[in-house]
Every structure is written in structure tokens, then in C-alpha cells.
Chains A and B, each alone.
Chain A
Amino acid sequence: MNLNFDEFQKANQTGGELDNIRIKNFDNFQKKGFPSKKEESWKYTDLKTMLYNNLSKLEVPNNKKTSQCHDEWLLKNFKHNQIILVNGEFVSSTFSFESKDKIKIKPLRVILKDKKNFNKIKELFDDQKNSLTSLNHALVRDGIFLEIEDNYSFNKPLVIYNFFNKSSENKIINNKCFISLGKNSKLDVLKCYKAENSIKYFNNTIHHYSIQENAILKQFSINNNLDNSYNYHLTNVKSHSNSIFENFLFSSGSSFLKNEIHCNLLGSYASCFVNGLILLNNEQHHELKTNVNHRYEHCKSSQLVKSVLLDKSSGTYQGKIYVEKEAQKTDGYQLSRALIFSENSTFNSKPELEIYADEVKCSHGSTTANIDQGSIFYLMSRGLSKKQANKMLIEGFLNEAVETITDINIKSLISKLLIKKINEIKFETNEH
């Protein structure tokens, strides 16, 4: 692996503070290297070995413009605003359904180069969660900078397309996405991922969401296209009082995907929902790590993760609810349910509660098991084939997570994608 930082640094000099931040962070990264099993939060994912075995030629992308994308990749029959990123670079944005004066959108590269604007996001570079965040700070080149004013509700959802074409092959792509939602505003974000010809790349993205009082941000991350990519998506959320953050994950496509969601509830009556489904086959490895931090009274958080594991795949759920001393009357809930379909699949879960306040209601549950043979028998005795019975039960099982989506249009879109995905899967279940 040769991450030629010096060359990158030369090509991307801004003459400002960022240069030093990059150097400092690259040093931090080099000291630690890619995360391995020795770190508690990477206990079930040895990224170091994984990258070494699969992406040994990983390199930093050069400055060549490579931003072609294909129109057939865009969502049809679904009215939406859009932002297109190709190979991590901001290509275009259209907000045809919205009043444009309420929205401030810029490619992140513009912000990074401009001193005054950079000061706004400078503090985001202080975050040192792990070596990948350091690496992201050092090598970030582009992304999204979106600010929405107070009292503005989006008419249609915003879809952020992340396309990767051939020139991303063996590249490490670092972006940041910054969205700030003003008071009483509302936004739905859908994120779609698509790679050309199953190329291998490593995508390391950090999302920063700031949700002001009474605002509602819903994020739907759809990763359903099978490809050979390796992804680490970190989401940092700051939720102020009375705000709602809703997050849904459709985690099914990439070879490796780790979603890490850190949500800080910074005002009373804020709520956070993290729901998702993990549907894996072949040798896929997906992980969801959450950390919901209750810091004020009367906040609510709820997590529901449903996983289905086939073939040699493995899934991990590491959830954490942290309740500070001041956060009385907290309501925290976590539930992870997994179906292990094959002898070679694995599911690990670590639902964690850390509570320092007494007047709370916190609970979690976690189950892992195979599909209920009684139910299969019931369906087969009514004339369904084994394959149909399996599909039906999996669909019903995963649908419980989809049902948590509160937007009806998005729910039906995701539901359709899920059915399509289930139909693509070959079932070779093992009998015991």
C-alpha cells in the first residue's frame, strides 16, 4: 500500500491552515495505521488485514477530472432534488422543487480553499475517533456543504448519488458531507451508491449533520448494489432540543461496509432513531456501530436492526446508549435480531448500555437464530416451495425494519428495492 501523501499535499496546497491540519493528521494516521481487531470498536472487523488482502495497491487519487456519470443510474419515477458525486467529486446539484434562496449549496472543495468559509468547518477537523478519521482529515478533497435556513421544509427529498467509475479503481476516496438544518426546517436525504463494473475501491466518508431546534432530518442510506467496494461511513449528528433525527440503513451491497453513527442529543426532548436492515450473502461483511449520547432530560432514542446472513457472510451490530447524569427521564431502546441462514455465516452483536442517571427507561434485546422450521413447514404444507417459503419469511422479517420509515413514498421505494434484492438472492439453505 502506497499512500503518496507528499504528492497529494503538493497538488492540493491551499496556503492556509488546512495544509498543517493535513500534515498533522497524516502523521496521526501513520502512527496508528488502519484499524485492526486490537481496537475495541473494531473487534469484529480486521480492516487492516482486509485491505491488505484485497486492496494492496490502494493509492490516493490524482487530480485528473474523471467525472462522467450515466443517466440510467438515476432514480426513475421518483420526484426528487439531487446532488451527484462522481468518485467523491461534486459534479452537479439541482433543487428544482425548492425555493433556492433558502438553500446554500457548495462543493466542499470551494469551502476548503476559502479561508473565511473554512473557519466555519474547521472544528470538524478536531474529531479524532480513529485512524480513519485522521486519514479523512488529511486526504479530504471534496464533498458537500449544504446549509438550509430556518423555517424551510423541503417539498421533495434530496437524493445524493455517489457514483464510482473505472478511474476509482484501487483508489482511496475521502469525502466529507456537511449538512446544517436551521430551526423548524425539514429535510429528507436519500443516499444511493453505485459502482461501475464491480471495481474495487475504498470510500471513507464523514458526514456531519447539525440539526437545530424543532428541525427534522431523515436520512436513508441505500446500499443495495452488489460490488467489490470497501466503505467506512461515519455520521456525526448534533441534535438540538425538540429535533428529530431519523436514520435508516439498507446495508446490503458492498463487500465491506461499516456504518458508524454518533448522535449527540444536545437539548431536551430531542429524539434519535436508528433503524436498519442488513442482508448479506457471499463473503460480505457489514457492520453497524451506533453511539447515542443522551445529555439532556426527556430525550428519546430507539434502534432496530434486522439482519439476514447467508453463505459465508458476517454481520455485526455494536450499539451503545450512553446516558449522562443530567439526562433524567431518558427513554432508550435497542433491538437487534438476526437470522443466520448458513453454517458458515456469523453474526456478532454487542448492545451496550452505559447509564449514569437513575430515572431512566433503558433496555435492549438481541437475538440470533435460524429461521423457524415450523413456519417453513406451515408454508410448505400450504403449497409453497421451500424457496418461496424462505423468501416470504425473510421478506416479512426484514420488512419490520422498513415499516419504521415514516415517509410513505420513501418507504414504498425502499420496500420495492428490498423485494428486488431478495429475488436476486440464491437460496441454498443447509439442513441440520
Chain B
Amino acid sequence: MKQSTINSSEEYKYGFTTDIESIRAPKGLNGDVIKFISNIKKEPRWMLEWRLKAYERLKNLKEPNWQKPKYPKIDYQDLYYYSAPKNSENKPKSLDEVDPRLIETYNKLGISLKEQEKLSGVAVDAVFDSVSVATTFKDKLTEKGIIFCPISEAIQKHPDLVKKYLGSVIPITDHYFATLNSAVFTDGSFVYIPQGVRCPMELSTYFRINASETGQFERTLIIADKGSYVSYLEGCTAPMRDENQLHAANVELVALDDAEIKYSTVQNWYPGDKDGKGGIYNFVTKRGVCRGRNSKISWTQVETGSAITWKYPSCILQGDNSIGEFYSIAITNNHQKADTGTKMIHLGKNTKSKIISKGISAGHADNTYRGLVRISSKANNSRNFTQCDSLLMGNECGAHTIPYIENKNSSSNIEHEATASKINEEQLFYCNQRGLNQEEAIGLIVNGFCKEVLQQLPMEFAVEAQKLVGISLEGSVG
């Protein structure tokens, strides 16, 4: 059996830190910190009350522990819940006023905010630790009536929309990490697409954790009003540190009648070093609800980073004829652990869902697909198709599939299939024979394995993701 060897030449490209002065909330989790966050964000009273209510509930909640990757206990009192670049208090009006060091940081990450502004393409909201530092293309979007802004701004400027939808998908009475987020969330993106509008460009948010001992708790809320369409991209990176950092975000999507939301994630948080030291705990709650008829929500995720990934982007198919899709690639190498999958809850009639999950496990990693498909007794003529494939590289890693399939309706169909195997020796041989070395050959085969999912990504992301797939697996074969 081939033993995995670690090639140390390929390091985490985004592991730098930005030396920038920051304001922090006092360490620890308590009512005062929540008031501090609410105060610094100049939030209205109802928002603070909402946060405190969540905090009250949190006190009686216990962390869930049914997941496969176990982690040392997190000391929630030993974290900073708010960290922001110092001069962000007076929010810059245009990119020229943004701290050049921040611009530089995003340039290093390959997200040139200035360039993006000039070239048409993607509107970016950049979130640095706890605050949104810049949002591009505001004017063009405003023309169409689209609201794309940091959620802290939306709370002040569009309180009616926020009040109506915030917490309507992930209520404050949800599980531990979701409730924690409700209490202390700092920033994130808010998107509202008005009725009948097709968003002319991809909307994108880049999240970066910079400060140490900080947890990042962002909250994203996307509302697609009747007959609208939006494609939203999310990317994340963090510096290399030998401590574990917590990232507990909440993402809520609401699709009304005939609306469609496409949500793509390329998650590349720092995965820890080759011995499993450091890295981000990515405990994220993502949930979308197809509230209207004929609505559609599609999740696409490429999970390559984080020490532990623990998330299940879900769709609640409430409206009749609504569609939920989930495309996922989860790559774990070295000591990374992933427990990810989806939930498709069919409530409306003629609802359809499709799940394509590709798990790749190398080194000492553990990769779990855990998913739920539930067809309720009223969801007549619903359909689900699930396919989960796992690829194992080396005999130190694990790949697991845990699907829950519940059908209460006799007119609905559920199909599920899963396979687990290693890379086909013949395919490798074929590639080698044609002059590709082992690593290139594996890259090629793995990309082919993931193709079904990569195709779902918007073009700009697909190229990045394809590279990322290659990089994540580098050094996993010897």
C-alpha cells in the first residue's frame, strides 16, 4: 500500500496576516459584549433585544455532540466576538477612502476590489474580521432596485425587510451555533432582489478572518422576491495560526414565487498544518426556504479548507413545484475532518430535489456525507435523486456516508445511491503512460470525478475551484 507523504513545498497561499490596528470588544461572551456590538453598529433597540433574547436562550442550550469529528471543548469566554480595522468607524464612501493595506490584502487574495470596479463582472462585498470593508458596484445595482450591502447597514436603512425576514429561516430557537450567531453576529451581506428583477451580475462576498483569538460570526440574508434571480458567491480565507479559530456563520435564503437563488461557496479557510495543528472550525448553518410556488434554491459548495467542516446547507421546499439542489465537493487532506451534506425537506406538492455529493479523502482525513431527505405526507408527486461518491487515497483516511431517507408519501419517489472506492489503477496507468506524472494524473482524474459539481459553479469560480482541487490534494500521494 502506498504511504502518503507530505510535500511541504505547497503551503497555504492565503496564510499571511495583515498588520492593521483593530478595535476589539472585550474578551468573553456576556450581555455587555452583545450590547457593545449592537452599540458600535448603531443598531436600533429591537435588534439588541433580538440578540439578547437569543443569548438568554443560548444559556440553556448545550453544544451538539453527535457529529463524527470530535474537537476539544471550545472556551467561549476566551474569544473576542468583535474585531474591526480601527478606521472603519467612519465607513468609507468609496474605495479611494478604504485603508490601502486592506485593499492590498484583498489584492493578495486575488480579489482586486479596484479592478473589479473597473471591469464589469462581479459585485464584491469584502468582510474583514467583523466588518464589511467595501462593497463594489453599488450604483449599478441600486439602479435596478437591488439592495446589496452589509447587513449592519441594512438593519439601519431597511429595517422593515430585515425585521420581516431575519430569523424566519433560522430562528433564534435553533441549535447551539445558530443561536450563538444570532446573539453575536457582527456583519455579513444582505441582498434583496425586487420583484421581477434578474440580477445583472454575480454578487460576491469575500470573508477573511485576520485577527487572532477571534471568532467570526457573519450573517447573510438573501431575499429573492417574486420572479427574480440572483447568483451569489462566497469565498473565505484566513491566516495561518496554530490555534483553532471558530467560524459560526448563519446564511438564510428566502425565495418567493418563481424566484431562483443560486448560492455558491468556495471555502478555503486555513486547514491547519500537516500535523493537524491550528485551522478553522467551520460550523456553519445554511438554510434556504423555497417559500413560493415554482421557486428554486441551488447550493453549490467546494469545501477544501478548515480543520473541521460541519455544515449542512438545506432546502425547505415549502412552495408547490419548488426545486432544491445541492452540489458539493468536499476535499479533506492531512488531518482535516469534514461532516457535511444537506437536508431536503419536501413539504409542497410536486417538489423536486437533487443531491450530488463528491467526497475526497486523503492523508489522515475523515470525510463524512450526512444527509436527510424527508418527504412529508402532503408532498404529493415529489422526487428526490441522491448520489454520493467517495474517493479514498491512502489507507489512513476514512470516507463515510450516512443518509437518512424518510418517505411518508406514496406518490413520491426517492432514489439514493452511493459508492466508495479508490482511484482506478487502470486510469492512472493510462495517464502515466501518456506522460503525466502521478500527481498530474491524480489531479486530472479527481477533476473528472468532480466535474458534475464544478460545472455548476459560475465561470470565475470554476477556474479557481479547479485549481484549488489540485492544490488541496498535492502531496497526498507518494
Interface residues of A (CB under 8 A from B): 40, 325, 328, 338, 340-370, 430, 432
Instruction: Provide the bound-state CA to CA distance between A359 and B425, in Å.
Output: 10
- Bound-complex Cα distance A369 to B381 (A): 10
What's the least CB distance linking B355 to chain A, in Å?
13
List, in ascending order, chain A residues with CB within 8 A of B410's CB. Answer: 340-343, 345, 370, 430, 432
Interface size on B, residues (CB 8 A): 37
Residues 381-396 of chain B, each 1 if its beta carbon lies under 8 Å from chain A, else 0 = 1000000001011111
A341 and chain B: residue at smallest CB distance = B410
Q: Give the distance in Å from the alpha carbon of A342 to the alpha carbon of B412 in the complex.
A: 11
Query: Are the CB atoms of B403 and A369 closer together than 8 Å?
Result: no
B314 to chain A, nearest CB (A): 18
B40 contacts partner chain A, Cβ-Cβ < 8 Å: no
Contact status of A362 and B413, CB under 8 A, knowing A325-B396, A344-B377: no
Contact of A348 among B66, B401, B406, B416 (CB under 8 A): B406
In the complex, 10 of the A-B residue pairs with CB atoms within 8 angstroms, ordered by the A residue number, are A40-B66, A341-B410, A353-B400, A353-B402, A353-B420, A356-B397, A356-B398, A367-B414, A367-B416, A368-B405
Residues from chain B with Cβ under 8 Å of A360 in the complex: 392, 420-422
Nearest CB in chain A to that of B414: its residue: A368
**A318, closest chain B residue (CB):** B404
- Say yes or no: A350 contacts B422, CB within 8 Å: no
Q: Which 3 A-B pairs have the closest CB atoms?
A: A358-B392, A369-B413, A368-B407
Complex interface: chain B residues within 8 A of A356 (CB): 395, 397-398
Task: Give A362 to B398 CA distance when docked, in angstroms.
Answer: 13
Contact B407 A348, beta carbon cutoff 8 Å: yes
A347 adjacent to B420 (CB under 8 Å):
no
Q: B399 — which chain A residues lie within 8 A by C-beta?
A: 353, 355
Max chain B C-beta neighbours (<10 A), residue from A345, A353, A432: A353
Known: A340-B410, A357-B395, A432-B381. A349 touches B418 (CB 8 A): no
Interface pair A364/B417, CB less than 8 Å apart: yes
Query: How far is A348 from B415 in the complex, measured between Cα atoms in Å?
Result: 12
CA of A366 to CA of B66 in the docked complex: distance in angstroms? Answer: 24
- The reply to whether B418 and A363 form a contact with Cβ atoms under 8 Å apart is yes
The answer on a CB contact under 8 Å between B398 and A369 is no
- Complex Cα distance, B206 from A311, in Å, reads 53
Give the complex CA separation of A369 and B413 in angstroms: 4
With A355-B400, A362-B419, A362-B420 known to touch, is A346 a contact of B395 (CB < 8 Å)? no
Q: How far is the CA of A352 from the CA of B412 in the complex (A)?
A: 22
| With A40-B66, A340-B410, A366-B403 as contacts: A361 and B421 at CB distance below 8 Å | yes
- Given contacts A340-B407, A350-B404, whether A358 and B422 have CB atoms under 8 Å apart is yes
Please determine whether B417 and A432 come into contact, CB atoms closer than 8 angstroms: no
The answer to whether B411 and A370 touch across the interface, beta carbons within 8 angstroms, is yes
Q: Are A355 and B413 in contact (CB under 8 A)?
A: no
- Report the bound CA distance from A355 to B391 in whole Å: 11
**A23–B272 CA distance with the chains assembled, in angstroms:** 49
User: Is B409 engaged at the interface, CB distance under 8 Å to the other chain?
Assistant: yes
Q: Are B395 and A325 in contact (CB under 8 A)?
A: yes
B212 CB to nearest A CB, Å: 34
- Chain A residues within 8 Å of B377, by CB: 343-344
